[in-house]
């Protein structure tokens, strides 16, 4: 009697020669394993490691890595550079998300109508989305160049400005120019999301409203907008979370300058990590960023929940 | 429904459409035009929209001075490998969640999605230390491994959504014919999911092709730096080479635009399915 037979004799009778039952149970998780391994090692582990690092004075310059409790966070609390970047990031997120949502809604409503060449316009909307952000940054750097930029030329020709405006090199304009570039890059995607949302609204509702004598504006305000609100809020949330992490645009267009006027949390964080090599302090900035993001998401969720509840 | 718009409304529509077209296509067309103009034409006080005289010197500069083809080569390797791995690992996971008996599958999907919500700047530092310990800095592997994890959530979600639309009768018929679980995936499900695989793969490819921050942090030589890092470092000593930059932009963006236009219908569907249907 082999060992297996002995074992099965003890365990009692089982169906089949192999062990189909156990395989049926294990296979699904085996297939999920590569994905779990990848996400655990590249996402979960670094997040936890980052949390730990934020309580240490790890630095690649001094080669220290001692536990210092809340030391980094105490420093962060009084760090003007951090709060400066925090406010820029909040401003950037709020203004760009709002502008992209409104503009995206307008374009979605336009693309919802029937006209010739609609497909061409819709295809053109994918160009900004597909373009690498670094290319977008360089492109806007050239368009908004202070001396030879096309924007200055066009505005001067139209008589809107008299002299060249230093869009990216002046403390007053740089952040707004970056916001403009971001709006250009991400509005089309927002529009396509909202367009898909518009298509899910039953046509009968709109027709019923028209029958009752509602004009376009009224139909929009009382039928389409309320129906679209969940999509609008969810799309807005995703956009806001994404905008909050803005890095490529700022890093390539201004590097955070002039005079830190466009420094955002991601760029400040990156410089703390890779220019000054303070991995402990840099990780504290990441954690603070993370908490701010969680608060934004929570705010959106509460708002969404309240709206949906009131509608019912 | 009747699409008889009043003339005024019709004019408004076409005007809006024109604005949307200029808004999204205009900046890139200017980049295209700039790439064929001489530097001295670009820096005169009055820019020309049509390149005259026409020149390809910026494209020559890309190859001769900047060795730009090396960045493209690196990007193609990194993005292709990322796409392949993403599709393979993502398909296994999506298949398991959609077709096999996984307890709490929506919990698993939710976890996968919420992992993609972490800010990437929060993982770049610890990953850098890890890559440095493993001797993976300035390698393709560090980038591919990172991009795989960044791309997986979207790929898994989109493929899961597609697999869910396939009728269950297929599974039963295949099982009856003695198909194993993996046989069901590789011989039946994947072949009929080809359209979805192509668009999902394209999304993963574009994401890897465009990624900047990790490439900037992990690679340090032209042997492994990707296109975005190459373009970001495009500066001459005394002036900004706008013409060369424009040419590089055209070279790396046109293939993407062509691909996106070919697959636009599927891409829009793939991208929007998560955001709209619940």
Q: Where are the domains of chain A?
A: 3-41, 71-311
Radius of gyration of chain B from its Cα atoms, rounded to whole angstroms: 23
Give chain A's mean pLDDT. 85
For the cut 80, the answer to whether the pLDDT of residue B67 exceeds it is yes
Mean pLDDT over B198-211 rounds to: 90
Nearest to A265 by CA among A67, A72, A78, A82: A82
Alpha carbon distance A138, A135 (integer Å): 5
Alpha carbon distance A88, B169 (integer Å): 55
Q: Which residues of B touch A197 (CB under 8 A)?
A: 275-276
Please give the span between the terminal C-alpha atoms of chain A, in angstroms, as a whole number: 69
Cα B4 versus chain centre, distance = 40
A54: contact with B, CB 8 A cutoff: no
The reported pLDDT for the residue numbered B237 is 63
Q: Which residues of B touch A27 (CB under 8 A)?
A: 96, 100, 181
> Residue B4: closest CA among chain A residues belongs to which residue?
A114
> Residue A117: closest CA among chain B residues belongs to which residue?
B17
Take residue A243 and report the two structure tokens written for it: 């905008």
Alpha carbon distance A108, A122 (integer Å): 10
Classify domain B67-230+248-276 by CATH number: 1.10.3720.10
Q: Where in chain B is the domain with CATH 1.10.3720.10?
A: 67-230+248-276
For the cut 50, the answer to whether the pLDDT of residue B275 exceeds it is no
For the cut 80, the answer to whether the pLDDT of residue B12 exceeds it is yes
> Residue A143: closest CA among chain B residues belongs to which residue?
B27
Cβ contact, residue pair B1, A265, below 8 Å: no
The reported pLDDT for the residue numbered A121 is 86
CA dist A13 → A269, A311, B252 (Å): 62, 59, 65
CA dist B1 → A32, A311, B14 (Å): 48, 28, 20
* ipTM of the complex, rounded to two decimals: 0.87
Would the CA dihedral through A90, B232, A253, B49 be positive or negative? negative
For chain A, count helices (H), then strands (E): 16, 0
A56 pairs with which residues across the strands? A67
Q: From the list B128, B145, B231, which residue is nearest A42 (CB)? A: B145
| All residues at 6 or more sequence positions from A40 whose CB lies less than 8 Å from its CB, including other chains | none
Nearest to A38 by CA among B19, B219, B148: B148
Q: What is the pLDDT of residues A77-105, one digit of tens each?
A: 999 999 999 999 999 999 999 999 999 99
Q: Find which of A132, A219, A236, A289 to mutate to test the B interface (most B CBs within 10 Å of its CB).
A: A132
The reported pLDDT for the residue numbered A161 is 85
Burial class for A200, CB neighbours closer than 10 Å (0-12, 13-18, 19+)? exposed
Alpha carbon distance A300, A121 (integer Å): 31
Alpha carbon distance A289, A267 (integer Å): 12
> Residue B257: closest CA among chain A residues belongs to which residue?
A127
Cβ contact, residue pair A35, B112, below 8 Å: yes
Take residue A79 and report the two structure tokens written for it: 């760090």
Q: From the list B27, B152, B261, which residue is nearest A123 (CB)? A: B261
Share of chain B above pLDDT 90, in %: 38
Residue, of B104 and A98, whose pLDDT is higher: A98
| All residues at 6 or more sequence positions from B194 whose CB lies less than 8 Å from its CB, including other chains | none
| All residues at 6 or more sequence positions from A302 whose CB lies less than 8 Å from its CB, including other chains | none
| All residues at 6 or more sequence positions from B182 whose CB lies less than 8 Å from its CB, including other chains | none
Q: What is the pLDDT of residues A49-63, one digit of tens each?
A: 999 999 998 888 888
Q: What is the pLDDT of residues B130-140, one digit of tens each?
A: 999 999 999 99
A1: contact with B, CB 8 A cutoff: no
Q: How confident is the model at residue A308 (pLDDT cuts 50, 70, 90)?
A: confident
Class level of CATH domain A71-311: mainly alpha
Share of chain A above pLDDT 90, in %: 38
Q: From the list B31, B96, B148, which residue is nearest A139 (CB)? A: B31
Q: Name the phi and psi angles at B182, rounded to 5.
A: -70, -35
Cβ contact, residue pair B252, A132, below 8 Å: yes
- For residue A44, the 8-state DSSP code is I
The reported pLDDT for the residue numbered A193 is 86
Cβ contact, residue pair A189, B271, below 8 Å: yes
Q: Which residues of A touch B3 (CB under 8 A)?
A: 114
Residues 10-29 of A with CB under 8 A from B: 24, 27-29
A220: contact with B, CB 8 A cutoff: no
Cβ contact, residue pair A38, B92, below 8 Å: no
Nearest to B163 by CA among B94, B107, B255: B94
The reported pLDDT for the residue numbered A6 is 46
Burial class for A259, CB neighbours closer than 10 Å (0-12, 13-18, 19+)? exposed
Q: Name the phi and psi angles at A249, rounded to 5.
A: -55, -50
A67 pairs with which residues across the strands? A56
Q: What is the pLDDT of residues A256-275, one digit of tens each?
A: 878 888 999 999 999 999 99
Cβ contact, residue pair B115, A133, below 8 Å: no
Is-contact B95 B189, C-beta < 8 A? yes
């Amino acid at each position: 009697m082999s060992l297996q037979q002995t074992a099965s004799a003890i365990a009692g009778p089982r169906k089949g020669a192999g062990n189909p039952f156990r395989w049926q149970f294990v296979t699904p998780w085996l297939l999920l394993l590569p994905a779990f391994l990848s996400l655990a090692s590249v996402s979960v582990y670094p997040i936890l490691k980052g949390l730990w690092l934020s309580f240490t004075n790890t630095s690649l310059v001094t080669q220290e890595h001692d536990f210092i409790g809340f030391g980094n966070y105490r420093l962060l609390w009084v760090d003007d550079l951090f709060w400066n970047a925090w406010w820029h990031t909040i401003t950037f997120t709020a203004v760009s998300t709002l502008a992209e949502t409104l503009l995206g809604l307008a374009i979605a409503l336009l693309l919802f109508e029937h006209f010739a060449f609609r497909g061409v316009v819709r295809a053109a909307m994918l160009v900004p989305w597909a373009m690498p952000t670094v290319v977008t940054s360089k492109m806007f750097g050239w368009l908004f160049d202070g001396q030879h930029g096309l924007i200055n030329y066009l505005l001067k020709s139209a008589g809107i400005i008299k002299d060249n405006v230093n869009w990216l090199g002046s403390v007053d304009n740089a952040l707004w120019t970056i916001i403009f570039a971001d709006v250009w890059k991400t509005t089309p995607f927002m529009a396509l999301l909202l367009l898909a949302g518009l298509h899910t609204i039953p046509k009968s509702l709109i027709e019923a409203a028209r029958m009752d004598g509602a004009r376009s504006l009224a139909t929009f305000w009382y039928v389409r907008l309320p129906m679209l609100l969940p999509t609008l809020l969810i799309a807005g949330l995703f956009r806001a979370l994404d905008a909050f992490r803005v890095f490529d645009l700022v890093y390539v267009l201004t590097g955070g300058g002039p005079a830190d006027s466009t420094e955002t949390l991601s760029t400040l964080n990156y410089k703390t990590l890779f220019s000054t090599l303070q991995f402990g302090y840099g990780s504290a900035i990441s954690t603070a960023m993370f908490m701010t993001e969680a608060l934004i998401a929570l705010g959106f969720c509460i708002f969404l929940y309240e709206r949906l509840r009131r509608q019912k | 429904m009747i699409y008889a718009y009043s003339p005024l409304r019709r004019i408004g529509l076409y005007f809006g459409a024109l604005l949307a077209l200029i808004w999204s296509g205009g900046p890139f067309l200017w980049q295209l035009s700039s790439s064929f103009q001489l530097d001295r034409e670009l820096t005169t006080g009055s820019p020309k929209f049509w390149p005259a005289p026409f020149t390809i010197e910026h494209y020559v500069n890309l190859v001769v001075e900047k060795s730009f083809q090396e960045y493209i080569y690196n990007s193609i390797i990194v993005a292709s490998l990322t796409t392949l791995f993403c599709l393979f690992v993502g398909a296994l996971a999506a298949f398991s969640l959609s077709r096999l008996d996984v307890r709490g599958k929506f919990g698993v999907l939710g976890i996968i999605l919420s992992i993609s919500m972490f800010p990437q700047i929060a993982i770049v530092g610890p990953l850098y230390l890890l890559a440095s310990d493993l001797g993976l800095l300035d390698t393709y592997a560090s980038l591919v491994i990172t991009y795989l994890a960044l791309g997986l959530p979207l790929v898994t979600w989109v493929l899961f959504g597609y697999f869910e639309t396939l009728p269950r009768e297929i599974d039963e018929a295949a099982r009856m014919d003695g198909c194993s679980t993996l046989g069901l995936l590789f011989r039946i499900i994947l072949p009929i999911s080809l359209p979805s695989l192509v668009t999902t793969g394209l999304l993963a490819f574009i994401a890897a092709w465009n990624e900047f921050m990790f490439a900037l942090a992990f690679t340090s030589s032209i042997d492994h730096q990707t296109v975005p890092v190459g373009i970001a470092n495009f500066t001459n000593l005394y002036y900004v080479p706008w013409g060369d930059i424009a040419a590089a932009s055209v070279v790396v963006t046109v293939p993407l635009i062509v691909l996106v236009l070919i697959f636009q219908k599927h891409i829009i569907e793939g991208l929007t399915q998560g955001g709209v249907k619940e």
